[in-house]
Structure 1
Amino acid sequence: MHSDRPRDVLIPPLGLAGTLTLPVNARGLIAFAHGSGSSRLSPRNTLVARALNHRGLATLLFDLLTPQEEQDRSNVFNIVMLGDRLVAAIDWLQSQTSAIADLPIGLFGASTGAAAALIAAARLPDRVAAVVSRGGRPDLAGNALPHVRAPTLLIVGGADSGVIGLNEGALARLQEPKALEIIPGATHLFPEPGAMDAVIEHASRWFERYLHSPSSVRAASRQSQ
């Protein structure tokens, strides 16, 4: 599927820079939350976004911090603030035309951005339909984890040993549906041949399975129990 050209946007109230891509007949929209030291221009997230566009999913890549805020390293670990930024982005998306506002929303978080995505999902249980974490620190979402109702997939590199344990601990605190996928031999940034391809495949399948209205996902989950 051919996607429309990416469109530069500004997310209120701070005017955070973003890139919105809306494929023809999009079936859902994925908002990205990048990790520490990264931005909307992250080559790994951009790669994932393009793959999702080709599968008929719209994407929003945006900066979680202003240029001034990026100068203070502590801001990249202010998970509550980053979660607030993601909530504001979702609010903005749902104030747009029906072609955007009516799409079910998924979140894709990397590194510390994964914790922000989970905090946003916990705060917006009726609006976030699915979450995927890549090499994330979901543990940093803390007490928000048990309140996440969106189906959540945690993807970790098999050679990222310390982060594997943190993801296993976070997984235990999440509600079903949930899953942990370990990419054999991959390190934290998944630079190994085929590693990002595996991430894209797992993430795409998860979104395609669960990117419906959150209420319908929960109803199906209860029926299967």
Structure 2
Amino acid sequence: MTTVDIAAPHSVCDQEVAIPVGAVELAAHLRIPDHPIGIVVFAHGSGSNRHNPRNTFVVEVFAGHRLGMLSIDLLTSAEAIDDAKVFDVGLLGSRLAIARRCLRSSPICRELPVGYFGAGSEAPAALWAAAEPRDNIRAVVVRGARPDLAGARLGNVMAPTLFVLGGLDIRVHTVNRRAAAAMRCEHRVTVLAGHGLGSADPQTSQRAAYVAAMWFAEQLRAHRGPAAGPTQYRDVDESVG
């Protein structure tokens, strides 16, 4: 594994990298397809890492939409069994922001618009990090779980944000809509037909990957800026492919 070797002058990249954060190094994988239109930082915490088949499927789907991806484990293996770190939204969010800033060291990546993708327990971390004012995040997708745990920072997110929910994830619908209602940026809540977004329902998770890829492709291709605008709340029930 190479430490922050993301400055290689190649337009196509597929390599393991390590990102130093304080006293630890975070494991990550950088995948840049030919002629990328943007790059997404995909956050992983406990219980699911960059090698999980469901997550590698997401990377492939995104590459098919000409989206690069930095797929990063926000916790070391030792930290992943520490509940204090697993549920520390500020810790995970700050590490995600550091990973985004490391992309500026790459001649290829620094020119690409950047988005955040947080699924499950990493959903609030993605929103926490997206609220950082100087990082110029262009799009966010959060999938399930508790994005409301980003708290007061939700109102500071300026990037267009998509909330993706499984049709039978009723227990998370309320908290996701509560989080969406706290935002001032363009946002959409999309409910996929089918079951939840857990590993027990791979088809819905696969549809979620395509929905997320289309959102990022649309937003990053447009290079839409982070300026705040009036709230645009759209609650969409959607079944994809």
Amino acid paired to 1:170: A
1:150 deviates by 0.4
SS at 1:131 equivalent? strand
**2:28 pairs with 1:9:** no
RMSD: 2.1
For residues 38-95 of structure 1, the C-alpha deviation after alignment (integer angstroms, 9 at most, x for no partner) is 2222322221111001111100111101222123122110000000110110111112
- Which structure dedicates a bigger proportion of its chain to helix? 1
Aligned AA (1:139): D
Q: How does 1:99-110 map to 2 (within 5 A)?
A: 99-110=108-119
Unaligned 5+ runs, structure 1: none
- The counterpart of 1:85, out of the listed 78, 82, 95, is 95
Distance 2:54 2:149 in 1: 21
Q: State which of 184, 205, 208 in structure 2 corresponds to 1:175.
A: 184
Asked if the contact 2:45/2:80 (under 8 Å) is kept, the reply is: no
Residue of structure 2 equivalent to 1:48: 58
Match of 1:205 in 2: 214
One-letter amino acid matched to 1:52? F
- The aligned counterpart of 1:156 is 165
Partner Cα distance (1:53, 1:88) in 2? 23
Is residue 37 of structure 1 aligned with residue 62 of structure 2? no
Amino acid at match of 2:162: L
Asked whether the 8 Å contact 1:138–1:166 carries over to 2, the reply is yes
- 1:115 CA displacement: 0.6
2:202, 2:121 → 1: CA distance?
24
Q: 1:112 to 1:192 in 2, by over 3 A?
A: closer
SS in 2 for 1:187: coil
Counterpart residue type for residue 83 of structure 1? G
Name the counterpart of 1:66.
76
Q: Give TM-score scaled by structure 1 length.
A: 0.89
Q: Which has the higher strand share?
A: 2
- How has the CA–CA distance of structure 1 residues 199 and 163 changed in structure 2, closer, same or farther, with 3 Å as cutoff? same
Q: Give % identity.
A: 39
Shift of 1:190: 5.7
Q: Give aligned pairs, total.
A: 218
2:193 paired residue number: 184
Where 1:6 maps in the other structure, the secondary structure is strand
Segments of structure 2 that go 5 or more residues without pairing to the other structure are 1-10, 233-241
- 1:161, distance to aligned residue in structure 2 (A): 1.1
1:170-192 deviations in Å (ceiling 9; x for gaps):
11111231000111222141643
Give a deviation string over 1:120-148, Cα, whole Å, max 9, x none.
10014652100001123211101110110
TM-score normalised by length of structure 2: 0.83
Q: Answer yes or no: is the 8 Å Cα contact 2:113–2:138 preserved in 1.
A: yes
**Residue among 192, 196, 211 paired with 2:205:** 196
Q: Secondary structure at the match of 1:185?
A: coil
- Equivalent pair of 1:7/1:20 in contact (CA under 8 Å): yes
Letter matched to residue 177 of structure 2:
E
Return the alpha-carbon distance in structure 2 between the equivalents of residues 190 and 38 of structure 1: 10
Q: Distance in 1 between matches of 2:165 and 2:171?
A: 10
